[in-house]
Each structure stands twice: as C-alpha cells, then as structure tokens.
Structure 1
C-alpha cells in the first residue's frame, strides 16, 4: 500500500477512455434540475423563504444560494476526467489550451447576451425581451451544436455564419433601460462559470494529475477569497475579473478538481470505504472552516464569502459520496434515467426555460393562481424542471446537442 505522502507527490494514472462515472453525471443533472427549479420560483406566491436567495447584506443561505456553487464544484470534478480522456485520444497541451480558451469565450458570450436581455429597453431596441432571449439562444445552438458528421460542410458553415450575424445584429441594435449600449454589465451565471472554468482548467492541464500542485492552488484561491473578503487585495489586481481575483468561485471549481483527482486514485485501487471516510472527514473540516470564517465575513452568496465557499464545497462533496454509493456501487443509475440528459447536455437544458417562458407569454398562456401558490406551485416548478430535462433528452435524440 502506498504511503500517504505518495498521494501528493506522484501523478495519478488517468482512467481509461471507456470509464464513465455515472454519479458525476447524475449529480450534475440533479444540480441543473434544482437550478431550473429555483430560477422558476419568481413565478410563485406564498412559498417558504428558505427556498429563495438570501437578500444582499443578510448573513445566511437559502436553497437557491447552494445550487450555483454546487455546479461550479461539479465543473471542477469533470475536468480531470475530460482532460485525461482527451490526452488519451492524442491531444497535446496546446490543443487542450485552445479548447479551454474557446470554451471559456463561448460561455462568456452566452452569459453577456443573456444578462443584457435582463435589462433591455424593448421600445428603444425594437425587440421584445423574450424574443431577444429566444433569438440569442437559437444562435447559441446553431453556433455550438454538435453537427452530425454526415452534415454537408457548407450547411454547417452557413448555420454558423447566420448565428454569428444574428448575434452581431442583436448586439448592435441593443439599448438598455438607461439607454446604455450592449456591454458586459455583469457576466451572468454562464459568464461566471466561464471565468471560473478558465483558470481551473488551465491549472489542471499543467498539473498533470499531481495532487500536491492542485491542493496548493486550491489553498491559494481559498486564501485569496479571505484576502478579498478582508478588503486587502491590492488595487494592482483590479484588471483581473472579480470572478477570478475574488478567489471564491475558482476555489469552488478547484475543490472539485482536487476531489476528482483523489477519487480517481482511490477508485483505481478499489478503496471505496477509505475514500468515503476521507471525503466525509474533509467535509467536516470544510464545515468547521465555514463556521470559523463566518465570524469574520459572514455567510453570503452575493458577497461570495469564504464561509460560502467552504460550506457549499462540503455539501457538494457529501452529496457526491451519497450518489456514488447509490449509483455506481449500488447499481441504481436507472432510477435517474429520466433526468440524465440534464447532466450530459447541461447547457442545452439550461437554455430550455428561455424558450418555455417566451412560448407561454407570447401565446398568452396563463396558469390559474392555484397552480402558482404554495405547495401546488412548488410541485409545478418541480414538474417544469423535469419537463426541461425531458425536452433536452428529446432534442438530443433528434441530433440537437450543444458541444463547446
């Protein structure tokens, strides 16, 4: 049996290409279902406050404040598997870096367009907000869908050129509520994911499964989160996007990278019980760090405090362990077959609600109040999130699949 220090000094041998961890896909699917669910709470009345976001300046968390950090953590968990797989297929570091940069840019573009749609001046722009969102999402799908190999080259190129032209037209015609032009007022959920993914992916590429490097970088971003929360970050770093310089969001993503790298090592050695014990102990340490740092900077998603980083990392780690034992060890993956498309084509699933809201609003489809109130309303939002997962699977079966 290897000595404990060997875990931190030797590269982890990558898993074979054919290996797939169902529990990661399912954890991602559950997280996306929850994200759609909490994003739909605006349509409801008389629901528990603990389900919603905690207001700015308030010390605490609601369910909605836990979903996004869980997704960032899962983005990190996927990175070692994705990079190892691409390396086994022959990708060099330069190819991997190019892929990461292109993917990050795509997420930033999508985030900025959807953010501008939130504050659009419909009269000045000449486009309804819902139509703006639908046109943007259609362009994203045309530009980044995985076209079949049998598709004619000119058809693919025409679709991509049309999508780029449409996005440029939308950006040029845009006017905001204050008369402002199209710009990254903030990056939106997808943009924040893009900024968090970029450094985490590049570090994972260069670390080559060396856990000591990955842990050191994770500790560094956790420290950066505390430095930023204390207001001690030098102004010379102000040119760096806050999603990176703040430390918290990249810290969440890097936490997932560290966990997945450890997971690969223990899984190769079939040490599931030992792995489980270590992950549970690590989660309690993270909870302790959250309790401690909360006394200094509070617990807040909107402020991206260190306590939020540590607590949500612990929650996601514990959730993964539970799902791993149920799905990969217990063979219960079929229990989640219905929602799995939300975990394998997550980005497409995220875009489905934009089409749904536009469809129901523009066609003047209004649900009765009884379906939008209390427990019945919550059931409606759960079913809506499940419907989005089903539509994603249906689109995948007919060949529509986002592939950044």
Structure 2
C-alpha cells in the first residue's frame, strides 16, 4: 500500500460509478433519511426505506452497495492488465507468459492481504481486544479475497472456461446450501442459525462473528462472491474488446442486465435472494443491477461525453479505499464539520439542523478528497 501520483488513463465512468457507490456510505444514506424526515414526501420516504439492509431475505438498494463495489473491482481488472497484454502481443489474459502471470499474481496476492489487514483494522484490530472478541471477517477482506480468486480464474482460463467456473460456483453453492445437512437443523435450512454458511462460520471462522451465530462476510459465502467479481471481469473484457460500437455495446449490456435480474428473480423461488448468505440468486439479481448501473454510466459519460456532473463522484471514486477507511472511524469528519460549521448550523431553524449537519460533514469529506485529487495523491492498494 502506498500513496502515489497516478499517470495511467482511467475509464471515467468506472471511477464515477465507484464514487456514486461509495457516496451512500460516506453520508448519502443519512442525507436521504434527513430529507425524508424533513419533507415527508412519499418518494423520499421510499428512498429512505431503501437505505437500510434487508433483515434477511430480499434486497434493497443499500444491499447492492457492497456487491456493486466488488463488481466494479472486477471490471477494472482487464483494464489494469491491458498494458501487459499489449506488450505481450496476446489477446487474452490467460495467454500471457508464465513469468508475467507470476508477477501479476504476486501483486494481486499482496493486494488481497493488504485489504484483509485493512478490514481487520476497521474492525478494531488495534484495540487489542481478546482473541475471542476480535472479528476477522470484513467487507474489505471479502473484496480482496473474492477479487483475487476471480482474477486467478481470469488469468488461467479461457473466457469459455471462466463462464464454466461462474456457473459451477453458483450451482455448487446452491446445492451445498440446500443438500448438505447441518447438525441440529438438517439440510436446506436457510435461516441465520441453521444455514450451512452460518454453521461453517461457527465451526471454522476464528474470533467473534458479526451476529454471534452468523457472519455476513463469512467463509462459505465468500465463494459465490467470486462469481460477482467474475461478472465484473466479463463486463470489463467485453467493453475493452470494442467488438461493437460503444452505443451498441450499451444495448447488449442492458439486455444482459435484464436477463440476469430475471434469472435472479426466478431462482429466488428456490434459493431466496439474500445478501447475508450471498446466495446464487443474489449474485444474479444484484449482478444484473450492477451491470445496468455501469451501462448507464458508461453511456452517459464515456459514450456521450457528458462528464462535468461526475466530478464529486470522481473525487470519491479515485480514493475510495482511503475515504472508506476514514469514515469507518479513522478520521472524525463530524468533529471537523462541527468545528467549522457548527455555529452556522445552530443559526438555522431546528427542523433543518440534522440536514445541515449531514451536508456539512459531506462538504468536509469532499474538500479533503479535492485536496488529494488536486495534488494527484491516491491510495494505491
């Protein structure tokens, strides 16, 4: 991990979408809640309800934020490998020389380990709690692990075999979750206490589980998360290949997105859409929405060239890991906002106070990100 000056060209829509995704974590969700409370408008109340995780089965917009980020990481992989592919005079990553693959895998492994470590830091690693009170699973850890293994498949198998891996992972996870019996619960129990995923976490995951009997970033459910990363990789390969003109590529992506969403809804009848278990139907359903989001951003930004509106999202997206670490407790943006804007907030009518507090925090966050962006300082993992 290091701070560096970025010189390589980037897909603007990808950075903007990453920023859009992270915006909801750094304050967007609280902004919607405050607006719903202030206005009472039905649309805002509905949006506010979408800014909460589903308790168990089902899916809200907020449930899509995590897998969308992993999908985006997958899309970026073919672009990060593009120079190595061009220099090696090959068409696909799996055709790269072994010596190049080894270097890439070493870099990817390093990235995975750093993300696992940073995830543990976010969980309070340096609070030095007792071993049994330390949570080892994390959002960043899952992103690192799933991205690494999706990349491993991408580097060693043809596109056709990557698709086989994708299907095998989803069907294999479904069969395992529905056919392998759990002591005391039997087979096919998909509750928090009785699922195979939860049982595996209790059996194998060290330290503290997020929900005592279950961890949403547990061991077994990380396997289908690899398929989420693969969906992103397929998208990145498709767009980078430029097989079709950009506008036609968008149409194909939207059709594929619709097909994935429908497939996820159909599978939901047999294997419920569930973020905590990262079910196969969840992979398809949210993967479809992720692809749709990317296609729309790609159309607006990279195809039509309408980019100015994306600047706040670019500030977030080009330093997404850094701002995530900051808002998860490493930096007190709320204290800074209170110091700078607290007096002005108190001058406003009481009903606007919560909204203005949130807006001031977001302004401080964006100002810090602007300083880093202006000086070309980015956290590279």
TM-score normalized by structure 1?
A: 0.68
- Aligned counterpart for 1:257 among listed residues 218, 228, 233: 233
Go from structure 1 to structure 2 and tell me whether the alpha carbon gap of 1:26 and 1:369 turns closer, same or farther (over 3 Å shift): same
Q: 2:141 maps to what in 1?
A: 191
Between the aligned partners of 2:13 and 2:299, the Cα distance in structure 1 is 8
Q: 2:280 maps to what in 1?
A: 306
How far the C-alpha of 1:344 sits from its partner, in A, is 1.7
How far the C-alpha of 1:86 sits from its partner, in A, is 4.4
How far the C-alpha of 1:51 sits from its partner, in A, is 2.8
Q: What's the CA shift string for 1:209-229, capped at 9, x where partnerless?
A: x32122222222222342344
Q: CA RMSD in A?
A: 3.7
Q: 2:270 maps to what in 1?
A: 296
How far the C-alpha of 1:270 sits from its partner, in A, is 4.4
How far the C-alpha of 1:302 sits from its partner, in A, is 1.9
Gapped regions of structure 1 (runs ≥ 5):
1-16, 118-169
How far the C-alpha of 1:361 sits from its partner, in A, is 10
Between the aligned partners of 1:362 and 1:389, the Cα distance in structure 2 is 15
Q: 1:401 maps to what in 2?
A: 378
269-278 or 21-30, which moves further after superposition? Answer: 269-278
Q: What's the CA shift string for 1:134-171, capped at 9, x where partnerless?
A: xxxxxxxxxxxxxxxxxxxxxxxxxxxxxxxxxxxx36
Q: What's the CA shift string for 1:13-54, capped at 9, x where partnerless?
A: xxxx96632111111111111232356579969584523333
How far the C-alpha of 1:103 sits from its partner, in A, is 0.5
Question: For 1:112, what is the secondary structure of its paired residue?
Answer: helix
Q: 1:51 maps to what in 2?
A: 50
The question of 1:33 aligning with 2:23 is answered: yes
332-341 or 390-399, which moves further after superposition? Answer: 390-399
Q: 1:116 maps to what in 2?
A: 124
1:256-295 equivalence runs, <5 A = 256-265=232-241, 267=242, 269-295=243-269
Between the aligned partners of 2:167 and 2:100, the Cα distance in structure 1 is 28
80-89 or 320-329, which moves further after superposition? Answer: 80-89
1:5-404 equivalence runs, <5 A = 20-37=10-27, 40=30, 46=37, 48=45, 49-57=48-56, 59-88=57-86, 92-116=100-124, 170=126, 174-175=128-129, 180-181=130-131, 185-207=135-157, 210-230=158-178, 232=180, 242-243=218-219, 246-265=222-241, 267=242, 269-353=243-327, 354=329, 355-357=331-333, 359=335, 377=354, 381=358, 384-385=361-362, 387-398=364-375, 400-404=377-381
Give the conservation status (yes or no) of the 8 Å contact 1:77–1:257.
yes
Give the conservation status (yes or no) of the 8 Å contact 2:337–2:357.
no
How far the C-alpha of 1:193 sits from its partner, in A, is 1.0
Give the conservation status (yes or no) of the 8 Å contact 1:30–1:339.
yes
Question: For 1:402, what is the secondary structure of its paired residue?
Answer: strand
Give the conservation status (yes or no) of the 8 Å contact 2:321–2:379.
yes
Between the aligned partners of 1:401 and 1:18, the Cα distance in structure 2 is 12
How far the C-alpha of 1:242 sits from its partner, in A, is 4.1
Question: For 1:247, what is the secondary structure of its paired residue?
Answer: helix
Q: What's the CA shift string for 1:221-259, capped at 9, x where partnerless?
A: 222342344253799998699456553311111110011
How far the C-alpha of 1:196 sits from its partner, in A, is 1.2
Between the aligned partners of 2:142 and 2:347, the Cα distance in structure 1 is 35
How far the C-alpha of 1:383 sits from its partner, in A, is 6.2
Give the conservation status (yes or no) of the 8 Å contact 1:283–1:315.
yes
74-83 or 301-310, which moves further after superposition? Answer: 301-310
310-319 or 234-243, which moves further after superposition? Answer: 234-243
Give the conservation status (yes or no) of the 8 Å contact 1:109–1:191.
yes
Go from structure 1 to structure 2 and tell me whether the alpha carbon gap of 1:23 and 1:116 turns closer, same or farther (over 3 Å shift): same
Question: For 2:380, what is the secondary structure of its paired residue?
Answer: coil
Between the aligned partners of 2:358 and 2:154, the Cα distance in structure 1 is 37
Between the aligned partners of 1:94 and 1:107, the Cα distance in structure 2 is 20
